[in-house]
Amino acid sequence: MKKVYTNPKHCVNCHLCKVYCVAAHSSSKDVLKAYKEEGLKDTARIIVEETKPISCAVQCRHCDEPKCVASCISGAMRKDPTTGIVYCDTSRCVGCLTCVVACSHGAVQPGPDGKALKCDLCRNLSEPACVANCPNGAIAFLEKEEK
Amino acid sequence: MLLEGELRIPSGCAISGMINRRGERFSGEDVIKSIALMHDRSNGLGGGFAAYGIYPEYKDFYALHLMYMNQSCRDEVESIIKENFSVEIEERIPTRNHRGIEKPPNLWRYFVVPKDYKVHESKESEDDFMALITMQINVRFNGQACVISSGRNMGAFKGVGYPEDIGEFFRLEEYRAYSWIAHGRFPTNTPGWWGGAHPFTMLDWSIVHNGEVSSYGANRRFLEMFNYQTPLQTDTEVIAYAIDLLVRKHKLPLELAAKVLAPPFWKDIDRLPQNEQEVYRSLRMIYGSLLMNGPFSIILGFPGGIMALNDRLKLRSLTAAEKGDLLLVASEESAIREICPNPEKIWYPRGGEPVIARLYEEVAI
Amino acid sequence: MKHQALPPEFSVIRNEDKCIQCQACVRQCGFDVHQYDAVKDKVCANEEKCVNCQRCVMICPTNALAITTNPNQYRTNSHWNAVHLQNISRQAATGGVILTGMGNDKPMPSYFDRILINASQVSNPSIDPLREPMELRTYLGAKPDQLKVSSENGEIKLAEPLSPQVRIETPILFSAISYGAISFEVCETLARAATNLGTLYNTGEGGLHRDLYQYKENTIVQVASGRYGVNHEYLNAGRIVEIKIGQGAKPGIGGHLPGEKITKSISETRMIPEGTDAISPAPHHDIYSIEDLRQLIYNLKEATRYQKPVSVKISAVHNIAAIASGVARAGADIIAIDGFRGGTGAAPMAIRDHVGIPIELALAVVDQRLRDEKIRNRVSLIAAGGFRSSADVIKAIALGADAVYVATAPLIAIGCRLCQKCYTGKCSWGICTQDPYKTKRVNPDLAAERVHNLIHGWSHEIKEMMGGMGINSIESLRGNRSHLQGVGMSEKELKMLGIKHAGEAI
């Protein structure tokens, strides 16, 4: 299964992956509108860790045996059997945030709407937005062997 | 004002050449017929011929053919000639009146040998001395007087007019040569003047050329380093000088000199066997500035043979044919068939592949 | 007042309707211009620090930023312009030498912009490079005047081998930029692009980093006055050894790498202590005259067993023709001439802007002088100094160069926008800095492709223009000045360049 991998050697700490993640998950799919009109500012599902001079963008690993799915009390967190993508069906999410605690990678965050916020590999798009828009080619969408 | 060629669509010049490899000499009638067939390739502003073997009784003398635009430069040139050479014969070149030829210049020929002490003083070889004096005359008189040819047992005949008219004007049917080359001109780059017609000669070399040398600036500046000057401002000059440098001075075989003018492409050199690769690569590295770019077909005349060559992309036409001892080349097949209706073999040489015909060994010079 | 503040040179214009406070500009600016105010949730700018490097403009996802000249203007004065006023104020404050980076930016006359190229028509067909072979291959090295061949069993062979020749597939090489002036990532980028293009890059005076030895087939190693990084292994690692006598940006003085930029890695590669300023001496202290140069040239040839051509790089100065003639006779196989537009990581502004002459004139007179003395074949000429496009390259070759060196153009391809602050080591693009936070910004995978694209595009344009002139082989363009004509030049300038005026019969 292809996943997103970031090479810290090339990550320049610009945080643009977060900006395009927000836009990709908005209704307008436009950066300006997503921020200014839809109010989606702090809803990026990718996190940039920095300890200067090193930085790296990290996100959900879409584990084979996801702890978030196991811990979800409402069945909102699920792993798509065909694609393997682990995503949250927010219509079922009750905001208990057990998944936030359960994830050993720290990949789930509480969203501004109280619900779970997590990378879904842009499952409705042809390519993850962070991969397509990293200005320095630090983020790639690969099979594990290609790493 | 009608500028030559610039208001018309040029179809290029015309060239033709033939050699009897047994050394049997024949008149200029055939080559005139051949070039006359290609009448529409010229515009009447230049035509000329070179012939080899025409002065057997004076074969050890340099035959200087000169043209003078006025009397005073004739006096001056003659004094230079007499200072440097012993003159065996001096006479007018025989011509006849021809309505196609207007206001011809004064045409004279001198059979000479350079004076020994003059050659010695110059510290050059006899040939180099000859080349030096003729170049000096051409540079100094800059169009007012011009050495048309200065080889031994050969001569060039050229001027402003259609080539067949020039041939008749010079009474070429009266000469006997074992090889003839001919040219009809459609000039676009230099004004139509008698000295600018082809063939261009240097010592025993003569060249007729259909084409335009786009590498002229690079060729000329390379040759200047070897003391060649270019007073006639034509592309053809550099081809003649290049051959002279490569073959006479640097002693390369004629086949290799042809490969300097029209070398194989690098990608083809890369596929040759090791030894050949080295030779052709070095040839291009050293003589790259003598690569003749731009479309051309040329015929080179020299004592004992002729060579015909196309540029590497074959942007000008050239046909060759053989019948018995005769080898013919021309811009068009029809020009060959006009005088040789049933050749044994007829072919179109590839771009960059020279056609070299020499007198058989038993009759070679 | 003890200290007179200068007004900021630039204004940062932020379109608040478009700014989404993503802070990319804050993180990417190398000069601490942009700041985020968390209380007001607003990004604002300290304009006095802005150097107009354009990094923030490029990185902003909504194109909310624009950098302009500060609308505050001194009273118009053609003689005492803003640059002079600023320089004088700065020197009054510091008493130091005003430094700058990259090449001369002053409006001196350009000759390339007044030379036009020929095209064939009618009597000479132009050639289509997509359908016919168009040869750009060039061999650099000394050539003999004559080819000597011998005949054995009817087979023709070389009678004498030629002196060493280096083959490049396009007449464009990467000029000297030292590791130290630029980051390792940029060195790697140039090395990889050169390898893919079949040409060479130049180490400059920074020595050769161990990890770059893998590209040795495409490396020119430079021996400069500081002799940084020069040892036996280094000399044998390159295809060509180049002695740097001068560079176009600062003729008469040596290289300058401030101590801030000397990291551990650079200290190892250059063989000097960390943190010390690396100021190369003005002359090589063993070359005080032409015969000394000859000695060094032959020392290097001995050290490399006569297997490599030796190049000598000189700046274009007033007596360049005589100097070049001397260098050719001293045994150089290649002469590189760097004109006054050449770039640098650090140079005093006064020298960069006022010392040296244009490469067009230098090249023309050197080529002609070598031909007059009949020694042109002894050297290959490489021209350098601010080549901006394929047209500049073609004009240089037609004037007489065998090949050209480019450096500023590939750096622009990587991202440089000529803010001229290279000497600070703060480059926001990560190009001329050693700060590990910034050097990551050049990803050699992406950057090498951009540089490759640039030179590939230029090479194709050169082929198109050659084809237009009816030429299919670069040897026929070299020194072929008939294909150049000038406009807006004096008689003297035309004569020095050896070209005719536009419209004149050739």
> Backbone dihedral region of C430: left (phi > 0), alpha (psi from -120 to 50 degrees) or beta?
left
- What residues contact C73, with CB distance under 8 A and at least 6 apart? C82
Give residue for tokens 């004109």: C339
Q: Answer yes or no: do B250 and C146 touch at CB < 8 A.
A: yes
pLDDT for the residue numbered C391: 98
> Backbone dihedral region of A99: left (phi > 0), alpha (psi from -120 to 50 degrees) or beta?
alpha
pLDDT for the residue numbered B185: 87
Which segments of C252-399 are extended strands (E)?
Answer: 256-257, 278-279, 310-315, 334-338, 347-348, 380-384
Q: Encode burial over C349-381: b for 16+ CB neighbours within 10 A, e otherwise.
A: bebbbebbbbbbbbbbbbbbbbbeeebbbbbbb
- Assign 3-class secondary structure to A15-66: CHHHHHHHHHCCCCCCHHHHHHCCCCCCCCCCEEEEECCEEEEECCCCCCCC
Touching partners of A (3+ C-beta pairs < 8 Å) = C
- pLDDT, one tens digit per residue, over A64-86 is 999 999 999 999 999 999 999 99
Distance CA C178, CA C186 (A): 10
Which one has a higher pLDDT value, A61 or B232? A61
How wide is the angle at C-alpha C331 spanned by C-alphas C326 and C332, nearest 5°? 85
The letter for the amino acid at B301 is G
Record the tokens describing residue C472, joined without a space: 């299919």
Distance CA C191, CA C168 (A): 14
Residue of A nearest to C25 (CA): A14
Query: Is B269 within 8 Å of B170 (Cβ atoms)?
Result: no
- Number of residues that this document lists for chain B: 365
pLDDT for the residue numbered B231: 66
How wide is the angle at C-alpha B158 spanned by C-alphas B290 and B32, nearest 5°? 105
Low-confidence ranges of chain B (pLDDT < 50): 1-11
How wide is the angle at C-alpha C420 spanned by C-alphas C416 and C422, nearest 5°? 80
Name every residue in C having a CB less than 8 A away from some CB of B. 120, 122-125, 127, 132-133, 135, 137, 139, 143-147, 149, 155-158, 162, 165, 371, 374, 376-377, 398, 469-473, 475-483, 506
DSSP SS3 for C174 = strand
Mutation pick from C27, C62, C439 vs chain A, by most beta carbons of A within 10 Å, is C27
* Residues pairing with A116 in the sheet: A110
Annotated catalytic residue within B13, B73, B146, B340: B13
Name every residue in C having a CB less than 8 A away from some CB of A. 17-18, 20-24, 27-28, 59, 61-62, 430, 435-438, 440-441, 443, 445-446
3-state percent helix, strand, coil for chain C, nearest multiple of 5: 35, 15, 45
Distance CA A106, CA A118 (A): 10
- pLDDT, one tens digit per residue, over C200-253 is 999 999 999 999 999 999 999 999 998 888 999 999 999 999 999 999 999 988
Record the tokens describing residue C230, joined without a space: 């020069």
pLDDT for the residue numbered C2: 57
Could you tell me whether strands C240-244 and C219-223 are parallel, antiparallel, or unpaired per DSSP bridges?
parallel
Q: Give the minimum alpha-carbon distance from B269 to chain C in angstroms, rounded to a whole number.
A: 12
pLDDT for the residue numbered C405: 98
The letter for the amino acid at B266 is W
Q: Give the minimum alpha-carbon distance from C460 to chain B in angstroms, rounded to a whole number.
A: 17
On chain A, the residues whose CB falls within 8 A of the CB of C440 are 9-12, 53, 136
Q: Which among B10, B215, B256 is the nearest to C476, CB-wise?
A: B215
Distance CA B312, CA B315 (A): 8
DSSP SS3 for C313 = strand
Record the tokens describing residue A99, joined without a space: 């998944």
Bond into C71 cis (ω within 30): no
Q: Which among A14, A31, A53 is the nearest to C20, CB-wise?
A: A31
Radius of gyration of chain A (CA): 15
A5 touches chain C (CB under 8 A): no
3-state percent helix, strand, coil for chain B, nearest multiple of 5: 35, 25, 40
On chain B, the residues whose CB falls within 8 A of the CB of C477 are 215, 218
> Backbone dihedral region of C198: left (phi > 0), alpha (psi from -120 to 50 degrees) or beta?
left
Q: Which among C59, C62, C438 is the nearest to A135, CB-wise?
A: C59
- pLDDT, one tens digit per residue, over A106-133 is 999 999 999 999 999 999 899 999 999 9
Give residue for tokens 């044994």: B344
Residue of C nearest to B191 (CA): C505
Q: Answer yes or no: do A136 and C443 touch at CB < 8 A.
A: yes
Q: Give the minimum alpha-carbon distance from C471 to chain A in angstroms, rounded to a whole number.
A: 41
- What residues contact A81, with CB distance under 8 A and at least 6 apart? none
**Taking Cα atoms as reference points, which of B31, B15, B20 lies closest to residue B338?**
B31
pLDDT for the residue numbered B41: 86
Q: What is the number of other CB atoms lying within 10 angstroms of the CB of residue B241?
A: 27
DSSP SS3 for C445 = helix
Q: Give the minimum alpha-carbon distance from C467 to chain B in angstroms, rounded to a whole number.
A: 10
The DSSP result for C219-247, as a single string, is: EEEEE-TT-TT-SHHHHHHSSEEEEE---
On chain C, the residues whose CB falls within 8 A of the CB of B267 are 133
Q: Answer yes or no: do C123 and B189 touch at CB < 8 A.
A: yes
Q: Answer yes or no: do A15 and C436 touch at CB < 8 A.
A: no
- Number of residues that this document lists for chain C: 506
- The rounded average pLDDT for each run of 10 residues, N- to C-terminus, in chain C (506 residues) is 78 96 97 96 95 97 96 93 92 92 95 94 81 95 95 87 96 96 97 98 94 97 91 94 94 85 89 88 87 94 96 96 96 97 94 96 98 97 97 98 98 97 95 95 97 98 95 96 95 96 83
On chain A, the residues whose CB falls within 8 A of the CB of C435 are 53
Could you tell me whether strands C334-338 and C380-384 are parallel, antiparallel, or unpaired per DSSP bridges?
parallel
Q: Answer yes or no: do B293 and C472 touch at CB < 8 A.
A: yes
CA distances from C452 to A136, C83, C172, C352, C463 (A): 17, 36, 11, 29, 16
Query: Is B147 within 8 Å of B134 (Cβ atoms)?
Result: yes
CA distances from C418 to B1, C69, C173, C438 (A): 54, 15, 21, 17
A87 touches chain C (CB under 8 A): no
- ipTM of the complex model: 0.93
Mutation pick from B42, B209, B221 vs chain C, by most beta carbons of C within 10 Å, is B221
Q: Give the minimum alpha-carbon distance from C274 to chain A in angstroms, rounded to a whole number.
A: 20
Q: Answer yes or no: do A138 and C443 touch at CB < 8 A.
A: yes
- pLDDT, one tens digit per residue, over C402-431 is 999 999 999 999 999 999 999 999 999 999
- What residues contact C178, with CB distance under 8 A and at least 6 apart? C203, C204, C205, C206, C207, C228, C255, C257, C345
Distance CA B199, CA B156 (A): 7
Mean pLDDT across A5-12: 96
Give residue for tokens 């990581």: C345
Distance CA A46, CA A58 (A): 6
Q: Answer yes or no: do C506 and B189 touch at CB < 8 A.
A: yes
Q: Answer yes or no: do B217 and C374 touch at CB < 8 A.
A: no
Is B13 catalytic? The answer is yes
Q: Answer yes or no: do C440 and A12 touch at CB < 8 A.
A: yes
CA distances from B270 to B265, B266, B281, B311 (A): 9, 6, 9, 20
Q: Which among A16, A53, A136 is the nearest to C24, CB-wise?
A: A16
Q: What is the number of other CB atoms lying within 10 angstroms of the CB of residue B16?
A: 32
Q: Answer yes or no: do B286 and C147 touch at CB < 8 A.
A: yes
Q: Give the minimum alpha-carbon distance from C13 to chain A in angstroms, rounded to a whole number.
A: 18
Touching partners of C (3+ C-beta pairs < 8 Å) = A, B
Q: Give the minimum alpha-carbon distance from A36 to chain C in angstroms, rounded to a whole number.
A: 7
Could you tell me whether strands B106-114 and B62-68 are parallel, antiparallel, or unpaired per DSSP bridges?
antiparallel
Query: Is B352 within 8 Å of B263 (Cβ atoms)?
Result: yes
Query: Is B238 within 8 Å of B223 (Cβ atoms)?
Result: yes
Q: Answer yes or no: do B285 and C139 touch at CB < 8 A.
A: yes
DSSP SS3 for C321 = helix
Residue of C nearest to A8 (CA): C440
pLDDT for the residue numbered C152: 84
Q: Give the minimum alpha-carbon distance from A12 to chain C in angstroms, rounded to a whole number.
A: 6
Q: Which among A10, A31, A41 is the nearest to C61, CB-wise?
A: A31
Give residue for tokens 């401030």: C258
The predicted model scores a pTM of 0.92
Q: Answer yes or no: do A32 and C22 touch at CB < 8 A.
A: no
Distance CA C92, CA C78 (A): 22
**Taking Cα atoms as reference points, which of C177, C208, C213 lies closest to residue C195?**
C213
Give residue for tokens 């350079």: B114
Determine B/A contact with 3+ CB pairs under 8 A as the test.
Answer: no
Q: Answer yes or no: do C23 and A41 touch at CB < 8 A.
A: no
Distance CA C391, CA C462 (A): 7
Q: Answer yes or no: do C22 and A19 touch at CB < 8 A.
A: yes
pLDDT for the residue numbered C326: 96
- What residues contact B279, with CB distance under 8 A and at least 6 apart? B256, C149, C156, C157, C158
pLDDT for the residue numbered A146: 80
DSSP SS3 for C363 = helix
Radius of gyration of chain B (CA): 20
- What residues contact C55, with CB distance under 8 A and at least 6 apart? C28, C29, C30, C415, C417, C428, C429
On chain C, the residues whose CB falls within 8 A of the CB of B256 are 149, 156
Q: Answer yes or no: do A136 and C446 touch at CB < 8 A.
A: yes
pLDDT for the residue numbered B1: 32
On chain C, the residues whose CB falls within 8 A of the CB of B275 are 155, 157
Q: What is the number of other CB atoms lying within 10 angstroms of the CB of residue B7?
A: 8
CB pairs under 8 A between A and C: 55
Could you tell me whether strands B85-92 and B106-114 are parallel, antiparallel, or unpaired per DSSP bridges?
antiparallel
**Taking Cα atoms as reference points, which of C400, C158, C393 lies closest to residue B281?**
C158
